[in-house]
A and B are shown apart, each in its own frame.
Chain A
Amino acid sequence: MNKWIEKGLRTGVVTTPYPKGRDEAAGISPGLPDAGAEVQDDNNTIASRCPTDALQPTDGPIKVDQRRCIHCFRCVRNAGEPFPWDSGFEWASLMSEASVFPPSFRRSLHIRVIDAGDCGACLNEVKLLNNPYYNMHRLGFFITPTPRQADVLLVIGPVADHMKIPLLKAYEAMPDPKRVMAVGVCALSGGVFRSGFIVGSGVSDLIPVDVEVPGCPPPPLAILHGLLVLAGRSEPHQFIEPANPVEGGVR
């Protein structure tokens, strides 16, 4: 047994400086198309490379909807001008100021993860939050096995039809105040499965969503940013209108 303790101690601290400092290690994020890029698309060649309409041509510069980007890299690698890239990870968007937890929740949140049909990549990135590199426990975030103790419902996947009832049951079992975090493009809009056996287009068709984390999959730090935003400890990337608001969502 002692040798395991020794091995653990020998490894030293590998934990990311984020959120106190900046993490600039290589390979922590696949990035997203730069939302602030002023690229004119005169003959609609750049935007037409995007299979998900994440790049939309307008009269002026291309409008970037990061919430739709599935990291296919066709706007960067296919023939033609590469679209500017943003290599960060603080992408979480908030629905409204009211989505942030009351101040008494600032220090600690319990999270129930629901896999509503993800491909395994989002789930793996969520799992990695417990890895020594990210160690979300140090920030007071804990994954809990039961929705009855959960403050946050972290939903990944496009909500496959068979997962609709389990998802609703888990949501209803949570005590108030509760918040829903949709993680990954599938959960935001159905992603590449939009025309399949899924409920609506994204989680917000079923239950009210408070914070959205784009990415396919979002890297662990992007998910961490989403949690910090919910706890009121970090600024959201932007405020957005929910794509499909649910009437009379309980809060």
Chain B
Amino acid sequence: MRIDELIAQAKVIWEDALEAAFNISPQEAEFHCKPDRMNEFCNWLHHQKIYHFAGMIVEERSNRWDIHYLFYEEGVAVRILVKTGGPLDQKSFQSISRTIHAADWYEREAEDLFGLVFEGHPRLGDFILHDDVWQEGVEPMRAGFNIGAALENHKPKRDWRPRRIVRAPGSFIMPVGPVYSGDAESVHFHLETVGEEVIRVFPRLFFKYRGVEKIAEGQSVDEALLLAERFAGTTAFSHALAFCMAVEKIGPTVVPERAVALRVFFAELERCRHHIGVIESICNSTGLAVAASQAAILEEDALRLACELAGHRYLFGLVVPGGLSCDLDTDRCCQAVNKLKGIVQRLNDLDQALTASSSFLDRIEEVGIITESQARDYELVGPVARGSSYCNDLRRAQPYLLYDQYDFEIPCEQEGDGYARLRLLFAEVNQSLRIMDQVTENMPTGPVSNPYSVSPGAAVAGVETPRGATWHWVRVAEDGKIARYRPITPSFANWHGLHLAVESFAFQDFPIVLATFGLSVSENDR
């Protein structure tokens, strides 16, 4: 739907609920909604107008709360910010998660970090700051919060017990983590069971909460870039890119064509490497050692390729506001694509070998099923959503960089099981290679960066990271320092939906389902 049509329509239907409705740019609309009508209005937008819910951004301004709900439409590059708020002493807002379940965790997060209460939300508290370590009333994202003093004044609840839902004879909670397995990221699971079957799973996250959003406050753009790049190191390039795109929008800074093309090139290289890594961990989770080793060799090859090209195995330090920090001559891009073709060729051989291994397929077929409607209710993103025919990819849905100029497909699978997600990873690597091939064929010439100067303002930018859509919201204050940095991450959305895939499957399937989700804890915890 065209943005002015939507605004006109909303003005008629929601005359009494909206305080303002206007477009910020040809692609972005902003609606200011009365706090007590939020639930109805967002419901209309999401369920009747079929806009995707992307996430929520809470800001404490000098004298008021600004709460933004981000929606977007597929295919037409339309982003919508629904804004509500109130004076700082207002602590209670309407919950929209009653009708948009995907907002559930965002509201819990805001409650824990800002002390806001969302009326109608069934369960707030004990989310980011764990109750067994922290007392109530610690609100780290509030202005003036002193981390050092807070860390000294832990008052844990000694009587904390995990919540039990399952009340059946012989039911118990099987705790896993936070330190478990040989080399897993730190996360804790409560698996409720009466025997073989996992009835309910409750992932307890945020063991790795470092307060990235808080650290960024008051930093310069250059400093915050280091954070954006390093809070989720295995997808560093995509996150740094989203951050840079947001500040370039505030600037505004035009990125030279060559840099745009190279950004696509490296983003796709990162996607290939990331997907090969997930394939490796899926093989590993089923105990298929040779296949896991084969994939691990290819992952290392891809890492070395990145290091040869950009100096760093995980592409740190490459993307900067205004472009890239170094150039790459086109010949080397072509050589790299040729090398990558060899890697992908061997990966496809592995794919074929796996397809012919019935013992392997037995373990991932028809386990960890997510239906399309579940994927939509939870607004899952990335390969996890696309494995359940919820085909949502920002490169297509909200084209950025030059993605609308390249010929590629968004692979999609129907079954929603572990095998569908695995097939999707293989297919996406091939598509990434196809894009990189086109980039090198028509590489623009010229510089790779334009001068960038910081200016005040706020903007949001979306990027399809290897794990799915991310949105980075940046507000730069008058003094050029970051006032608010808010990354909305794909792992946060997908961890929310993990329980759907695990529940009612057997214990031994749990690590396999987890591997097929390809989740990152650090990206979620921030």
What residues of chain A have their CB less than 8 Å away from a CB belonging to chain B?
A: 1, 3-5, 7-8, 11, 14, 25-31, 51, 70-74, 77-78, 112-128, 130-133, 143-145, 147, 157-158, 160-163, 165-166, 170, 191-193, 195-199, 216-217, 219
Q: Is the CB of B183 within 8 A of A123?
A: yes
Q: Which of B130, B178, B183, B521 contacts A127 (CB 8 A)?
A: B183
Q: Is the CB of B313 within 8 A of A166?
A: no
Question: How many residues belonging to B are interface residues under a CB distance threshold of 8 Å?
Answer: 66
Q: Which residues of A contact B293 (CB under 8 A)?
A: 8, 11, 131-132
Q: Which residues of B contact A147 (CB under 8 A)?
A: 179
Which chain B residue shows the least CB distance to A4?
A: B290
Chain B 297-327: CB-based contact to A (< 8 A → 1; otherwise 0):
1011001111110011110110000000110
Which chain B residue shows the least CB distance to A30?
A: B312
Q: Which residues of B contact A165 (CB under 8 A)?
A: 133
Q: How far is the CB of B214 from chain A (nearest CB, A)?
A: 6
Q: Is the CB of B300 within 8 A of A162?
A: no
Q: Is the CB of B183 within 8 A of A131?
A: no
Q: How far is the CB of B113 from chain A (nearest CB, A)?
A: 11
Q: Is the CB of A145 within 8 A of B296?
A: no
Q: Is the CB of B312 within 8 A of A143?
A: no
Q: Is B288 an interface residue (CB 8 A)?
A: yes
Q: Is B208 an interface residue (CB 8 A)?
A: yes
Q: Is the CB of A115 within 8 A of B184?
A: yes
Q: Is the CB of A72 within 8 A of B226?
A: yes
Q: Which of B133, B291, B307, B522 contacts A120 (CB 8 A)?
A: B522
Chain B 207-235: CB-based contact to A (< 8 A → 1; otherwise 0):
11111101100000011001100111110
Q: How far is the CB of A185 from chain B (nearest CB, A)?
A: 9
Q: Is the CB of A70 within 8 A of B226?
A: yes
Q: Which residues of A contact B183 (CB under 8 A)?
A: 113, 115, 123, 126-127, 143
For the complex with contacts A71-B317, A121-B314, A122-B233, 7 further pairs of A-B residues with Cβ separation under 8 Å are A73-B316, A74-B317, A119-B234, A160-B210, A196-B214, A197-B140, A199-B151
Q: Is the CB of B316 within 8 A of A216?
A: yes
Q: Which residues of B contact A51 (CB under 8 A)?
A: 222-223, 226
Q: Is B9 an interface residue (CB 8 A)?
A: no
5 CB contacts below 8 A, A to B, read: A5-B290, A115-B186, A120-B232, A131-B293, A144-B182
Q: Is B403 an interface residue (CB 8 A)?
A: no
Residues B436-487 near A (CB distance < 8 A): none
Q: Is the CB of A216 within 8 A of B230?
A: yes
Please judge, given known A-B contacts A26-B307, A71-B312, whether A121 and B234 are in contact too, CB under 8 Å: yes
Q: Is the CB of B312 within 8 A of A28?
A: no
Q: Which residues of B contact A197 (CB under 8 A)?
A: 140, 147, 151, 209-211, 214
Q: Is B90 an interface residue (CB 8 A)?
A: no
Q: Is B127 an interface residue (CB 8 A)?
A: no
Q: Is B25 an interface residue (CB 8 A)?
A: no
Q: Is B171 an interface residue (CB 8 A)?
A: no
Q: Is the CB of A77 within 8 A of B179?
A: no
Q: For the complex, what is the distance from the CA of A114 to the CA of B140, rounded to whole Å?
A: 26
Q: Is B388 an interface residue (CB 8 A)?
A: no
Q: Is B185 an interface residue (CB 8 A)?
A: yes
Q: Is B353 an interface residue (CB 8 A)?
A: yes
Q: Is the CB of B133 within 8 A of A118?
A: no
Q: Is the CB of B294 within 8 A of A166?
A: no
Interface centre among A4, A114, A119, A128 (most CB of B within 10 A): A119
Q: Is the CB of A162 within 8 A of B133?
A: yes
Q: How far is the CB of B474 from chain A (nearest CB, A)?
A: 17
Q: Is B251 an interface residue (CB 8 A)?
A: no
Q: Is B268 an interface residue (CB 8 A)?
A: no
Q: Is B236 an interface residue (CB 8 A)?
A: yes
Q: Which residues of B contact A77 (CB under 8 A)?
A: 317, 325-326
Q: For the complex, what is the distance from the CA of A193 to the CA of B185, rounded to whole Å?
A: 18
Please judge, given known A-B contacts A7-B290, A11-B294, whether A72 and B317 are in contact too, CB under 8 Å: yes
Please judge, given known A-B contacts A160-B208, A196-B147, whether A4 and B288 are in contact too, CB under 8 Å: yes
Q: For the complex, what is the distance from the CA of A120 to the CA of B278, rounded to whole Å?
A: 13
Q: Is B180 an interface residue (CB 8 A)?
A: yes
Q: Is the CB of B233 within 8 A of A128?
A: no
Q: Is the CB of A72 within 8 A of B147?
A: no
Q: Which of B140, B304, B353, B522 contacts A26 (CB 8 A)?
A: B304
Q: Is the CB of A11 within 8 A of B299?
A: no
Q: Which residues of A contact B430 (CB under 8 A)?
A: none
Q: Which of A78, A132, A145, A196 contacts B212 (CB 8 A)?
A: A196
Q: Is the CB of A3 within 8 A of B147?
A: no
Which chain B residue shows the least CB distance to A126?
A: B183
Q: For the complex, what is the distance from the CA of A78 to the CA of B208, rounded to whole Å?
A: 32
Q: Which residues of A contact B63 (CB under 8 A)?
A: none
Q: Which residues of A contact B286 (CB under 8 A)?
A: none
Which chain B residue shows the least CB distance to A184?
A: B233
Q: For the complex, what is the distance from the CA of A133 to the CA of B311, rounded to whole Å?
A: 20
Q: Is the CB of A73 within 8 A of B297?
A: no
Q: For the complex, what is the distance from the CA of A206 to the CA of B525, rounded to whole Å?
A: 22
Q: Is the CB of A131 within 8 A of B209?
A: no
Q: Which residues of A contact B299 (CB under 8 A)?
A: 128, 131
Q: Which of A73, A126, A131 contacts B311 (CB 8 A)?
A: A73
Q: Is B523 an interface residue (CB 8 A)?
A: yes
Q: For the complex, what is the distance from the CA of A13 to the CA of B445, rounded to whole Å?
A: 41
Q: For the complex, what is the distance from the CA of A226 to the CA of B311, rounded to whole Å?
A: 22
Please judge, given known A-B contacts A27-B306, A195-B215, whether A163 and B208 are in contact too, CB under 8 Å: yes
10 tightest A-B CB contacts, nearest first: A121-B233, A27-B304, A119-B233, A27-B307, A131-B296, A73-B317, A196-B211, A197-B211, A120-B234, A117-B208
Q: Which of B186, B209, B291 contacts A161 (CB 8 A)?
A: B209
Q: Is B520 an interface residue (CB 8 A)?
A: yes
Residues B337-357 near A (CB distance < 8 A): 353, 356-357
Q: Is the CB of B215 within 8 A of A193?
A: yes
Q: Which residues of A contact B212 (CB under 8 A)?
A: 193, 196
